[in-house]
Amino acid sequence: MSTNVNTALAVGAAAIAVGTTAYAFSSKSSRPFYSANEIGRPVDDVSRKSTANKKSSIQGDDEFDFVIVGGGTAAMVLANRLTERSDVNVLVIEAGKSSRGVHAAQIPAIFFMLQRAASDWSYWTTPQKGCHNRELAWTRTKILGGCSSGNAMMFNLGVPQDYDEWAKLQKGAEGAEGWAYKGFQKYLQKFETFVPHPDVPCPTEERGKTGPVKTGYFGYFAGLGRAFIPTCEAIGIPHVPDVNTSKGAIGVTRVASYIDSKGRRVSTENSYLTPEVLARPNLKVVCGAQVTKICFNDAKRAIGVEFAEKKDGPVFFVGARNEVILSAGAINTPQILLLSGIGPASDLSKHSIPVVQHLPGVGRNLADHIVFNSSFPLRPGYSIKRYMIPTNAGEALSMAGAIAQYLIKGTGPMTSHAQECMAFVRVGDGEIGRKVAGGQPDVDEDSTSGKGAPDVEVMVAPLAWRDHGHKPFDVPEPMTITTTVLRPTSKGTVTLKSADPWDKPLIDPCYLTTKHDMEILVRSVRLAYQLTNTEPLKSIIDHDLKHPLLDHALGSKSNAEIEDVIRSRAETGYHPSCTARMAPLEDGGVVDARLRVHGVQGLRIVDASVQPEIVSGHTTGPTIGIAEKAADLIKEDY
């Protein structure tokens, strides 16, 4: 058996190698990026401080108007929008390389191959008490475009209530109202061009029409969703053709994605850092260099950053005339702040880091969506496992065929991001809540972002995973129902392990440490069970096939038994957020409503970490929206 699996994986790998080599010849990849030693100056150069303080207008390589730390999802938006103005110049410093020509970052179905490899920060959490002390894998893509180049490409924007709550949490601070949905929606529309697909009619009035990011229904659809939607309707979850509008988001829908009509990933590198933008004389992008520190002058003004290619390599300094903008993502942004002396004074003193600004909220309030996958066997013909995670030679041949189809036509299973439908539901109370409560009263705490907002997301995929796709799931035709706690009340921390910028930070999401999160997740497992026992889904599941990896028995177990299984299997939903939240100082805020870091000058944060509370949906779109708005705020200020 295991020889079979190995053969399959070898054949699969060979097919990918052949296929992607051919693909490489068809994609242009040489682009003008800079290496660390071409920008800035070595830190031991004594003159650097005086240069950085001088308000000079030289357009040299050691000082820029804006220095953006990280070249990820949000940063690519800023790089594009800020350099629309020819009177400012911008430097981006990214730890990874360009995603152009990196096949796993372009071909949708093989995105998980980026994980635990060179283009991944490959983080792990600390042992999680709420998860039987397991350490959980936390992939964060280390490449231009950041996680938008390595994520699952599902398009979703949260719900209007999320943004209204963001605005309210600013308690009337300058600019607060601009974050409410009414004002913020224009930024969610600004980035998007929705490309209609002939097979998926849906309303488009509220979708973006002129933005750089193409969205649509161009991912492979195997058809499981055709059974899933009426099954949801049968238990009272309405079918809505577009959950991404001002009207709210309870309902089930086909998954729209960041995949273009040619079957390619739409990352923010692909969409915002086009060759034309990269050719602008006022933009430079350094790849392969890690920012180790933000430097401040005595007036607590950010004057530039230090960066290096490797731990023992030379360190360079580059100055920022106007601002340093931190866009390193929800893990690395707080890490860099702490390394630079901005954070809880007690954390800093533990590592003998001089305090520039005591800011208690840095690295606190870490929120992530906790996920439980349950898997069921489908009747033959419905699953796409053979194309994506083959476990025998026959399946690997199917995969090779799919790769050929992709290379020739840009269609077929290699354009899959697996999930076919998403449903947003309330299970803590209401009609469906009561159906899945197992006789329990409503969950006491309502942590949703507002009346009518969801507490759970349910996704369905004609495929199954073990260990995020890194271990074979050896069942012929599996499907997965993924259930997600959208508004967890367990909040965690990102802290330093040491003062060494090359050490990974300590990530403790404190998963499932509140009664609320567990109650919601148990109910969601019962909901998954109920769905698999409702027609038409019921008939396409093989209820007689028994296998230790399959979950048809789970929903009939006691709450305590389900809890135990959840604690042994729950994993990240890949959405870490809120570690530098936008809020008043007294509420654990790190940035104000214009995204300026409290207590210092010349430093802004623009990425998923500024969310005041985690959105009830997927985080790419909201992050791009934040960056679009930030670009306008910055342009107003200079």
Binding-site residue positions for FAD: 291
Cα 444 from Cα 4, distance rounded (Å): 51
Q: Could you tell me the two tokens for 476? A: 């012929």
# of chain residues touching ligand FAD (CB under 6 A): 40
Contact 395, 8 (CB under 8 A): yes
Of 70-78, 80-88, 340-348, 521-529: span binding ligand FAD (CB under 6 A): 70-78
- Note the residue count of the chain: 638
Burial of residue 547 (CB within 10 Å: 0-12, 13-18, 19+) is: middle
Q: Which is nearer to ligand NAG, 338 or 458 (CB)?
A: 458
Of 180-188, 218-226, 247-255, 427-435: span binding ligand NAG (CB under 6 A): 247-255
Cα 319 from Cα 336, distance rounded (Å): 17
Burial of residue 565 (CB within 10 Å: 0-12, 13-18, 19+) is: middle
Cα 131 from Cα 111, distance rounded (Å): 26
Q: Which is nearer to ligand FAD, 155 or 406 (CB)?
A: 155
248 is a site residue for ligand NAG (CB under 6 A): yes
Cα 551 from Cα 528, distance rounded (Å): 10
505 is a site residue for ligand FAD (CB under 6 A): no
Q: Which is nearer to ligand FAD, 123 or 529 (CB)?
A: 123
Residue 74: contacted member of ligand NAG, ligand FAD, none (CB under 5 to 8 Å, by partner type): ligand FAD
Residue 373: contacted member of ligand FAD, ligand NAG, none (CB under 5 to 8 Å, by partner type): ligand NAG
Please select the residue that binds ligand FAD; options are 153, 227, 252, 396, rule is CB under 6 A: 153
Cα 419 from Cα 388, distance rounded (Å): 12
# of chain residues touching ligand NAG (CB under 6 A): 25
Residue 536: CB minimum distance to ligand FAD, A: 26
Distances in whole angstroms, Cα of residue 31 to Cα of each of 78, 228, 265, 332: 19, 44, 19, 26
Residue 618 a catalytic site member: yes
Please select the residue that binds ligand NAG; options are 98, 327, 482, 577, rule is CB under 6 A: 482
Task: Classify 238 as helix, strand or coil.
Answer: coil
Residue 575 a catalytic site member: yes
Q: Could you tell me the two tokens for 567? A: 């604690």
Please select the residue that binds ligand FAD; options are 36, 91, 95, 436, rule is CB under 6 A: 95
Residue 242: contacted member of ligand FAD, ligand NAG, none (CB under 5 to 8 Å, by partner type): ligand NAG
3-state secondary structure 582-598: ECCHHHCCCECCCCEEC
Distances in whole angstroms, Cα of residue 614 to Cα of each of 113, 366, 412, 454, 622: 27, 9, 34, 13, 10
Instruction: Find, among 32, 29, 35, 30, the residue nearest to 288 by Cα.
Output: 35
DSSP 123-180: EEPPPBGGGTTB--EE--B-BTTGGGGTS--EE----HHHHHHHHHHTTT-TTGGGGS
611 is a site residue for ligand FAD (CB under 6 A): no
Please select the residue that binds ligand NAG; options are 335, 391, 449, 480, rule is CB under 6 A: 480
Please select the residue that binds ligand FAD; options are 623, 625, 629, 630, rule is CB under 6 A: 623
332 is a site residue for ligand FAD (CB under 6 A): yes
Cα 533 from Cα 538, distance rounded (Å): 5
Residue 326: CB minimum distance to ligand NAG, A: 28
Residue 518: contacted member of ligand FAD, ligand NAG, none (CB under 5 to 8 Å, by partner type): none
Of 145-153, 160-168, 356-364, 596-604: span binding ligand FAD (CB under 6 A): 145-153
Contact 109, 414 (CB under 8 A): yes
Q: Which is nearer to ligand FAD, 70 or 363 (CB)?
A: 70
Considering only residues 364 through 403, tell me which ones interact with ligand NAG, judged by CB under 6 A: 371, 373
152 is a site residue for ligand NAG (CB under 6 A): yes
Residue 421: contacted member of ligand FAD, ligand NAG, none (CB under 5 to 8 Å, by partner type): none
Residue 572: CB minimum distance to ligand FAD, A: 8
Residue 563: contacted member of ligand NAG, ligand FAD, none (CB under 5 to 8 Å, by partner type): none
Q: Which is nearer to ligand NAG, 203 or 380 (CB)?
A: 203
Type and span of the H or E element at 216: strand 213-216
370-377/571-572 β-pairing: antiparallel
Angle, helix 181-190 to helix 620-637, in steps of 10 degrees:
100
Residue 234: CB minimum distance to ligand NAG, A: 18
Q: Which residues bind ligand FAD (CB under 6 A)?
A: 69-74, 93-96, 139-142, 146-148, 150-154, 156, 290-291, 327-330, 332, 336, 574-575, 607-608, 618-621, 623
Catalytic residue numbers, as ranges: 575, 618
Q: Which residues bind ligand NAG (CB under 6 A)?
A: 152, 203, 205-206, 240, 242-243, 245, 247-249, 251, 371, 373, 418-419, 459, 461, 465, 467-469, 480, 482, 571
